[in-house]
Structures are given as structure tokens and as C-alpha cells.
């Protein structure tokens, strides 16, 4: 990296000019409005120079230009030294990148510590929806990015397969299903069970209204409605391990799992291990005694167990109810410990919406107080909710945007647009269908991931599939354009660096390509696929400027033509790798 090279020569400059040194050199990218490739922040160096920031920058700049072939020019803007680097450096950097088989990515070793990533974690009473899509795409992409950064990654989910919401679907099917099945109705299993969750709510609301009209309060009607009582009784029987209820629960959950598997397969996701709440809900209860023995937890007069986190700026948190039943926090404590026993991970990331920010602060703090040193390496990949132009979603009312329907809508839109633009010449039906799938799902994934995870986002399907602007199809089309150009060149790409002159646009492209390994590491450290997405967009946008202004395939200088083809290939390789980290396929033809 250029900063490493400059660090050495600036240390020499400080010794020569001021008989001092400063190893804490700070570099920035030079702002676009100024000349230069890299900027040295000079203010901290005045301690050594005993001069003003401007004079210090001028001294160092002159020294570098006179003594280092690497530096061709400089300019000073207040306390910042903007340094221009010789083209030979950038050409060598490009050659190193071009010769690298998997440029930007770091291979992990067999003994690398494991990074665990939890995501998706659906309920078994309904299909996956738009909110799940952002969760799934974030978790899957972060897993890919961590792996590209040299980490060994395992993907897990916890499936919420128990509780009153599951029993509601079961009751509705028993009452109104007449024995129908996903097979008999030709419905995906998760859609089928989700239909009965909506049916339950419809009849439950009608019962509440009838009770209220008979004189009962709204609060009492919610508890006394016959359907709700039946759901509560099913839950009680499930907890008592009633064989008939367990059999029905397993049958309906398996319908849902089949549906989930189909959705995961289409979106391109798989898990190394599934955890089930029906197995984990009792985990953590044994830890309560451990915490009481250590004095980390305390009992109240009613027998409930709590932890006091007021000294940590939080509050008191219940961990065990007075009747001895566990709460979600207790379950999460136990599940985290179980996962560490299963995987011996060094880091774990939970992909969960930002409404659970407080929960995870408490969870990580409790694990730390219990003496689990890995708790300090747990991270909440907190993300904002997804809004639609049409408004919010409600599961009970059946107004959610279903994940399967949304994916199909995106693919259908891609088909219509591709046909209108005439991008199907020479393709057979199977190639065309694969192209629609890649464009449609690529548009969805890219649009979801280009937004900083912490921000709430508006998903506009129409905007996401535009072939212009910061979209997946724009990047995919540029990649395909490069492949067409390389095919037209139809020669082995051989060039030499000697004698090559770089245009400003070529130089800019090489510098952007050179940033790719750093971007991957930054995205891994911040758990942010948005850094990758927007880097690839900026690279592709810069390439399009190069493509429109610099002749590539024409010219008498065959060495220059071959180099420019190599530069195009490198843009395609980097954009393909970057999009792969987002789970997006880039076609060779469009």
C-alpha cells in the first residue's frame, strides 16, 4: 500500500529535516478538488518540526520531491500535504492485482478461530417476509465478507417453533382446516400454515367483538374469547408433552420447514446448524444458580431472580419468574453458552432488528459478568426496519409482503424490462430464464444491502431494478459489457509495463482497484455490506466514464490496447467478487 511506502520515506524526511521522528503518521485520501493521490495530516508533526503546519508541510513536500522517485509533486492546503505518486508505482500495483488469483480476499487457515453469524431466525407460524429478507441478506453477506477477510465462518439460526403464536395456527387448522394439507391445496407449507394464522386472527377478532357487544370489557374479551382459550390449552398440553398435540405440532412445523427450505434455496442461503427454541427454551436455567452462587444475580421476596445493572447505566432485569419459568433473556444466555460449546467460536454476531438493541446490551453484559471472556467479542448486527411505498406490514392481518412473492415479482419485472430493452438476442429459453433470475434477485439484494444496516430504509421495487443509477442491474450490465468487449478483442492479453503512459482516468481506476482489499477488511470490521456495495458502484461508475472517453480497442499501440483490455478485465473481476460478497450473480451476457 502507498501509505506503507510513504511512511518509510517520511520518517527519513523527519530525521533529515528536524533530527526527530514520529511513527504516528496519519494519511487520508486526497479530496477530489485537490491534486494528489494521498494526503499527509501535518498538524501532529509540528511537535517535531517546531514550525507552523504549512511550513512543515512545505519542507516535507520539497524533501520528498527532491529525494524520492516515488513522489512526483506536492501541494499544501493549510496543514495538509497532498502528495502525487509516480505512475510506475500504480502500474506495479495494478500488475500485482492482475496477477493475484483471488485479488482482495484472504484465505483462512484450518486453525483460524471461528466467527459465528446468526441470522433469519423465523417463526413457524408464517412464511418469510420482507423484513426477513433484509435480515437474511445482511447475515449471509456479512458471513461472505468475513470469510473474504480471512475468517472462518459458520452460519446458524434459531427457529422460534414454540409458543402461543404457533398454537394459534394449530387451533385454526383444527377448527377450520377440514383436513386439507399443503399437498392437497398445492400451497407451499409455510404459506399454508401462515394462512391459518390469519384465519385464527379473523375469527378471534369476531369473537372479541361479540363479547364486547354483550357487555364485556375489551381487555377481558381478549382473554375470554373461546379461540384464544383453545390456543392456551394447546400450549399447556404441548408443555405437558401430550402425544397427540406434539404430533400435530411436528406435522405443521415440518410443513413450514419445507417451505423455508425452498425460499432459502432460491435466495442462496444455507446454515451450518439450526437451533430450535423448543430445545433451547430451558437452556440457561442452570446458569441461574451459577449466577446466584457468584452473587451476580439476586432473589426477590417472591422468589424471582434478577440482575442489577444500574451501576452499568442500565436497570434491573428479570431472569427467572417467581413460578420458576425462564424468560427470553435466560434462554439467550443458555443458547449462547451452548453455541460456544458447539463451535468454540471467538466471535459471534447476532443479526437482529434495532428494536432489540437494549436486549443485546444486557445479554452481552450478563455473559461477561458470568465470566465468559468471549462475551466481549459478541456483536449485535443491528439493522433498521424496511418500509414500502405502500406502508407498514402486519402479519396477523395478512398484509405482509411475502418473501416468495416479492422475489417472483422482481424476476417478472426483470423479464419485462429485459425484453423491452431487447437484451435477449441469441439466448435460448433456459439462458433467458437464468438471466431474469439473476437480474431480479440481484436488484433486490443489491438495493437492500447498499444502505447502511443501521438505517431504516424504504424499499422501492421499481427503483431497485432500474438499469441506471446505483442499482444491481447497472453493475451487472457493466460487467456484461466488459465481457462482450473482451470477447471482441479475441486475443491473449499480453502487455508490458515499460513505456506505458497512464491517462488520468486509467490512473483513477487503478487507484480504486487498489482500494479493494482495504474495503473488504473495513466492511468485515464494521459488519457493513454497504461499504462493498457502494465501492463496487463507484468503481463501475468510474469505469463507464473511462469507457466513454478513452478508446480501448482501437489504436496503433498494441501494448496500450492490451493493457486497457487488462484494466477492463480487472474492473470486471473486482466487481464480480464484490457482488458475490453481496450474494449477487453477475452474468456475462445481457
Each domain of the chain, given as residue ranges in start order, spans 2-85, 164-248, 285-325, 416-581
Q: Which grid cell is 250?
A: 411436528
Cβ contact 34:82 at 8 Å: yes
pLDDT at residue 395 greater than cutoff 60? no
The band of 576, judged by pLDDT with boundaries at 50, 70 and 90, is: very high
Cβ contact 543:527 at 8 Å: no
Q: pLDDT value at position 424?
A: 67
Overall pTM > 0.85: yes
Specify the fold of 2-85. Answer: Gyrase A; domain 2 (3.30.1360)
The band of 583, judged by pLDDT with boundaries at 50, 70 and 90, is: very high
pLDDT > 90: what percent of the chain? 85
pLDDT at residue 396 greater than cutoff 70? no
SS3 category, 293: helix
pLDDT at residue 290 greater than cutoff 80? yes
Q: pLDDT value at position 21?
A: 77
Residues recorded for the chain: 590
* Average pLDDT of the segment spanning 359-366: 97
pLDDT in tens, 3-43: 888 998 999 999 999 998 776 899 999 998 999 999 999 99
User: Which burial class, exposed, middle or buried, applies to 13 when counting CB atoms under 10 A from its CB (0-12, 13-18, 19+)?
Assistant: buried
Cα–Cα distance, 326 to 18 (Å, whole number): 67
Q: What does DSSP assign to residue 31? A: P
Whether 2-85 and 416-581 share one fold: the answer is: no
pLDDT > 70: what percent of the chain? 97
Q: pLDDT value at position 559?
A: 94
The least confident of 312-316, 357-361, 392-396, 567-571 is 392-396
pLDDT at residue 367 greater than cutoff 90? yes
pLDDT in tens, 94-153: 999 999 999 999 998 888 899 999 999 999 998 999 989 999 999 999 999 999 999 999
State the chain's mean pLDDT as an integer.
93
Specify the fold of 416-581. Answer: Isoleucyl-tRNA Synthetase; Domain 1 (1.10.730)
Q: pLDDT value at position 24?
A: 81
The band of 423, judged by pLDDT with boundaries at 50, 70 and 90, is: low
Amino acid at each position: 500500500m502507498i501509505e506503507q511506502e510513504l511512511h518509510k520515506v517520511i520518517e527519513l524526511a523527519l530525521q533529515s529535516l528536524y533530527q526527530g521522528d514520529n511513527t504516528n503518521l496519519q494519511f487520508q485520501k486526497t479530496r477530489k478538488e485537490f491534486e494528489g493521490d494521498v494526503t499527509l495530516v501535518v498538524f501532529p508533526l509540528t511537535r517535531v518540526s517546531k514550525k507552523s503546519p504549512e511550513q512543515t508541510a512545505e519542507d516535507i513536500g520539497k524533501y520528498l520531491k527532491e529525494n524520492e522517485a516515488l513522489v512526483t509533486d506536492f501541494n499544501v492546503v493549510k496543514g495538509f500535504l497532498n502528495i502525487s505518486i509516480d505512475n510506475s508505482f500504480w502500474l506495479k500495483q495494478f500488475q500485482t492485482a492482475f496477477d493475484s488469483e483471488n485479488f482482495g480476499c484472504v484465505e483462512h487457515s484450518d486453525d483460524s478461530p471461528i466467527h459465528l453469524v446468526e441470522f433469519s431466525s423465523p417463526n413457524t407460524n408464517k412464511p418469510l417476509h420482507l423484513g426477513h429478507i433484509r435480515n437474511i441478506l445482511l447475515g449471509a453477506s456479512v458471513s461472505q465478507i468475513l470469510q473474504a477477510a480471512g475468517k472462518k465462518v459458520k452460519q446458524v439460526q434459531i427457529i422460534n417453533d414454540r409458543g402461543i403464536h404457533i398454537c394459534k395456527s394449530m387451533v385454526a387448522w383444527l377448527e377450520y382446516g377440514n383436513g386439507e394439507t399443503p399437498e392437497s391445496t398445492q400451497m407451499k407449507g409455510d404459506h399454508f400454515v401462515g394462512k391459518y394464522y390469519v384465519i385464527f386472527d379473523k375469527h378471534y377478532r369476531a369473537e372479541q367483538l361479540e363479547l364486547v357487544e354483550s357487555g364485556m370489557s375489551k381487555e377481558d374479551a381478549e382473554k375470554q374469547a373461546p379461540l384464544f382459550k383453545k390456543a392456551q390449552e394447546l400450549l399447556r398440553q404441548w408443555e405437558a408433552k401430550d402425544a397427540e398435540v406434539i404430533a400435530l405440532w411436528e406435522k405443521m412445523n415440518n410443513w413450514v420447514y419445507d417451505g423455508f427450505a425452498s425460499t432459502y434455496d432460491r435466495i442462496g442461503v444455507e446454515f451450518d446448524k439450526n437451533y430450535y427454541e423448543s430445545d433451547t427454551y430451558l437452556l440457561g436455567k442452570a446458569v441461574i444458580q451459577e449466577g446466584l452462587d457468584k452473587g451476580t444475580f439476586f432473589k426477590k421476596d417472591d422468589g424471582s431472580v434478577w440482575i442489577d445493572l444500574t451501576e452499568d447505566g442500565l436497570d434491573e432485569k428479570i431472569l427467572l419468574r417467581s413460578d420458576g419459568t425462564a424468560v427470553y433473556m435466560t434462554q439467550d444466555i443458555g443458547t449462547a453458552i451452548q453455541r460456544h460449546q458447539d463451535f468454540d467460536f471467538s466471535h459471534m454476531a447476532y443479526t437482529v432488528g434495532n428494536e432489540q438493541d437494549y436486549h443485546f446490551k444486557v445479554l452481552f453484559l450478563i455473559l461477561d459478568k458470568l465470566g465468559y471472556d468471549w462475551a466481549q467479542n459478541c456483536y449485535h448486527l443491528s439493522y433498521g426496519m424496511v418500509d414500502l411505498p405502500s406502508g407498514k406490514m402486519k402479519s396477523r392481518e395478512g398484509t405482509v409482503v411475502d418473501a416468495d412473492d416479492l422475489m417472483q415479482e422482481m424476476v417478472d419485472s426483470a423479464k419485462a424490462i429485459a425484453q423491452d430493452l431487447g437484451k435477449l438476442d441469441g439466448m435460448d429459453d433456459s439462458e433467458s430464464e437464468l438471466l431474469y433470475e439473476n437480474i431480479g434477485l440481484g436488484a433486490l439484494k443489491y438495493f437492500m444491502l447498499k444502505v447502511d444496516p443501521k438505517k431504516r430504509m424504504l424499499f422501492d421495487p421499481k427503483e431497485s431494478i432500474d438499469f441506471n443509477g446505483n442499482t444491481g442491474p447497472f453493475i451487472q450490465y457493466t460487467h456484461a459489457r466488459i465481457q462482450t468487449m473482451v470477447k471482441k478483442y479475441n486475443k491473449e492479453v499480453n502487455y508490458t509495463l515499460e513505456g506505458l503512459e497512464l491517462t488520468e482516468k486509467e490512473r483513477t481506476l487503478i487507484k480504486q482497484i487498489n482500494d479493494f482489499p482495504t474495503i473488504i477488511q473495513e466492511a468485515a470490521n464494521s459488519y457493513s455490506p454497504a461499504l462493498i456495495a457502494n465501492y463496487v458502484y463507484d468503481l463501475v461508475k468510474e469505469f463507464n466514464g473511462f469507457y466513454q472517453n478513452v478508446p480501448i480497442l482501437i489504436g496503433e499501440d498494441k501494448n496500450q490496447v492490451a493493457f486497457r483490455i487488462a484494466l477492463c478485465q480487472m474492473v470486471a473481476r473486482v466487481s464480480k467478487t464484490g457482488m458475490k460478497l453481496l450474494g449477487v450473480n453477475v452474468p456475462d451476457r445481457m
